[in-house]
Amino acid sequence: MSRVDNPHDDVAIHTTPVVIEPGHTFGSVTDKISTIVLRKRTPIGWWIGFALSFMVFGILQGTIVWLLLNGIGIWGNNQPVGWSFDIINFVWWIGIGHAGTLISAILLLLRQGWRTSINRFAEAMTLFAVACAGLFPLLHTGRPWLAYWMFPYPNTMGMWPQFRSPLMWDVFAVSTYATVSALFWYTGLIPDLATLRDRARSRLGRVIYGMAALGWRGSARHWARYEATYLLLAGLSTPLVLSVHTIVSFDFAVGIVPGWHATIFPPYFVAGAIYAGFAMVLTLVIPLRKLYGLEDFITQRHLRNSAKVMLATGLIVAYGYMMETWTAWYSANTYEEFMIRNRFFGPYAFYYWALMVCNVIVPQLLWIRRVRHSTLALFAIAMFVNVGMWLERFVIIPISLHRDFLPSSWGMYSPTIFDFSMFFGTIGLFFFLMFLFLRFLPVISIFEMRTLVPEAEIKEDKTA
């Protein structure tokens, strides 16, 4: 992982672009980030983005109302394709969330200093993506008001959940992941909330941020425990994030459907999740740094490193696709072979080849230094990967289900307008939450940025 940060990366001068532009002090870092939250006038661009995302979120709300009134028959899922957009979108969103944990936890443990200015943002992304993801399994139960039946509690029915089922593992994995991500995020926010409390000019701001900061005062005794806790949480989140997507892949791999029943699924899903997540980080961060003038903190270095992680995980994913095909041939199993032939040449072949273009071919451009250095090109490639990762789940879920063992039980699947309105609606919800976060909470971790400023260096000779 340290190779990601190759110091000989720059064409022109053979020095790595800095993680924070020179000339910043404790004060300037604090002011620059906290002003985004504390200024009185909300920029017009924020209002436009907020209004648009709220409108799209409205579509989700409308769809949910219609869904609750009519049941999940309004979706296109039906025998033999019982899982489709609901599970595709669930896996897509969960995967996006994983990059946030990777950036905040794994890169912290690997001492990758460049993570600091994007970790808060990426954690927020995780949290909101998990919120969007959670809606799908919840609503596809059909009667979400009975969703608490999935939790093990002594009840008058005398029943317990089936803990041997990967679907129950999923309930535990996703709810643990959501809880731990929220704890990690909030713990990281406490010192910054204290900064906002101390700098807010309005009384309301002082009271609200003050309550949220829990009376944090920056005591050295507190910091010692805080740092230990933060590291421990990072150490816990790292295996957690790997386990969550492994368990998500078990939802398929433990089943017997050809195209699902594969041992390569856990690593291939985890790599895919990180791949999708970094694509989403780039999708969000590139416009954000421009709009809020944060180029000093989110520098070219961050974009390039993200691009490299994307390239690496993309290659793992491509290896996964290759192995699926190879295994199908090597197994000499009729059903496995047919599954691949059906992907290549079947009725949904277009989506398979579109997936190959988006996830395998286009990202190879990242080998070229000039592409990695172009913000616009990175943004475009990230969009391809966002689409590609969605298509990957489409290929795995409905395409595997629509033709399994018995030709007599084959069928075609097509989504309805409500499948699309739910999917796009969650994108609205995601951005709606994102815009609220941008306005009310510091988008970059202020206290961690202070540690990067040159002033933070303790001069040894004076302390001795």
Partner 1 sequence: MKRRTRTPTYGMMAEFDNPTDVVAAATRAYEAGYRRLDAYSPYPIEELSEAIGVHSTKMPMIVLIGGIIGGIAGYLLQFYTHVIDYPLNVGGKPLHSWPAFIPITFECTVLGAALSAVFGMLALNGLPEPYHPVFNTPNFALASRDRFFLLIQANDPKFDPAETRTFLQSLGAREVNDVEH
Q: Does 233 bind partner 1 (CB under 8 A)?
A: yes
Q: Does 228 bind partner 1 (CB under 8 A)?
A: yes
What's the closest the beta carbon of residue 68 comes to partner 1, in angstroms?
A: 29
Nearer to partner 1, 158 or 407 (CB): 158
CA–CA separation, 32 vs 24, rounded Å? 10
Q: Which one among 44, 69, 204, 220 touches partner 1, defined by CB under 8 A?
A: 220
Q: Does 292 bind partner 1 (CB under 8 A)?
A: no
Nearer to partner 1, 263 or 334 (CB): 263
Judged by CB under 8 A, which stretch of 13-21, 51-59, 72-80, 169-177 contacts partner 1? 169-177
Total number of residues shown for the chain: 464
Q: Does 215 bind partner 1 (CB under 8 A)?
A: yes
Q: Residue 451 gets which letter from DSSP?
A: T
Q: Which one among 48, 214, 357, 380 touches partner 1, defined by CB under 8 A?
A: 214
Q: Does 454 bind partner 1 (CB under 8 A)?
A: no
Q: Does 361 bind partner 1 (CB under 8 A)?
A: no
Q: List the one residue out of 197, 182, 204, 5 whose CA is nearest residue 100.
A: 182
Q: Which one among 216, 252, 260, 430 touches partner 1, defined by CB under 8 A?
A: 216
Q: Which one among 8, 111, 203, 459 touches partner 1, defined by CB under 8 A?
A: 459
What's the closest the beta carbon of residue 164 comes to partner 1, in angstroms?
A: 4
Nearer to partner 1, 376 or 461 (CB): 461
CA–CA separation, 263 vs 253, rounded Å? 7
Find the binding residues for partner 1 in span 23-82 (CB under 8 A): 25-27, 30
Q: Where are the beta strands (DSSP E) in 324-397?
A: none
CA–CA separation, 98 vs 109, rounded Å? 16
Q: List the one residue out of 320, 244, 306 whose CA is nearest residue 278.
A: 306
Whether the CB-CB separation of 103 and 84 falls below 8 Å is answered with: no
Whether the CB-CB separation of 384 and 282 falls below 8 Å is answered with: no
What's the closest the beta carbon of residue 288 comes to partner 1, in angstroms?
A: 23
Rg (CA), the chain: 23
Angle separating helix axes 375-396 and 85-101, nearest 10 degrees: 140
CA–CA separation, 132 vs 188, rounded Å? 22
Judged by CB under 8 A, which stretch of 6-14, 46-54, 181-189, 385-393 contacts partner 1? 181-189
Nearer to partner 1, 376 or 464 (CB): 464
Q: Does 121 bind partner 1 (CB under 8 A)?
A: no
Q: Does 191 bind partner 1 (CB under 8 A)?
A: yes
What's the closest the beta carbon of residue 3 comes to partner 1, in angstroms?
A: 28
* CB-facing half-sphere around the CA of 389: CA atoms within 13 A: 31
CA–CA separation, 84 vs 415, rounded Å? 8
Q: Does 322 bind partner 1 (CB under 8 A)?
A: no
Whether the CB-CB separation of 88 and 394 falls below 8 Å is answered with: yes
DSSP 340-386: HHHHHHSTTHHHHHHHIIIIIIGGGGGGSHHHHT-HHHHHHHHHHHH
Whether the CB-CB separation of 271 and 323 falls below 8 Å is answered with: no
CA–CA separation, 320 vs 258, rounded Å? 15
Q: List the one residue out of 209, 212, 295, 284 whose CA is nearest residue 435.
A: 284
Q: Does 164 bind partner 1 (CB under 8 A)?
A: yes
Q: Which one among 84, 104, 195, 306 touches partner 1, defined by CB under 8 A?
A: 195
Q: Does 163 bind partner 1 (CB under 8 A)?
A: yes
- Please calculate the CA angle 312-314-318 and round it to the nearest 5 degrees: 120
Judged by CB under 8 A, which stretch of 127-135, 209-217, 324-332, 336-344 contacts partner 1? 209-217
- Please name every residue paired with 81 in a beta bridge, in sequence order, or none if there are none: 78
SS3 sequence, 48-67? HHHHHHHHHHHHHHHHHHHH
CA–CA separation, 257 vs 261, rounded Å? 6
- Please name every residue paired with 117 in a beta bridge, in sequence order, or none if there are none: none
Judged by CB under 8 A, which stretch of 55-63, 100-108, 228-236, 326-334 contacts partner 1? 228-236
Nearer to partner 1, 40 or 459 (CB): 459
Amino acid (one-letter) located at 32:
K
What's the closest the beta carbon of residue 219 comes to partner 1, in angstroms?
A: 5
Q: Which one among 74, 236, 257, 315 touches partner 1, defined by CB under 8 A?
A: 236
Q: Does 201 bind partner 1 (CB under 8 A)?
A: no
Nearer to partner 1, 26 or 319 (CB): 26
| Contact residues for partner 1, defined by CB under 8 A | 25-27, 30, 152, 158-164, 166, 168-169, 172-173, 176, 179-180, 183-184, 186-187, 191, 194-195, 197-199, 211, 214-229, 232-233, 236-237, 239-240, 243, 247, 250, 447-448, 450-451, 455-459, 462-463
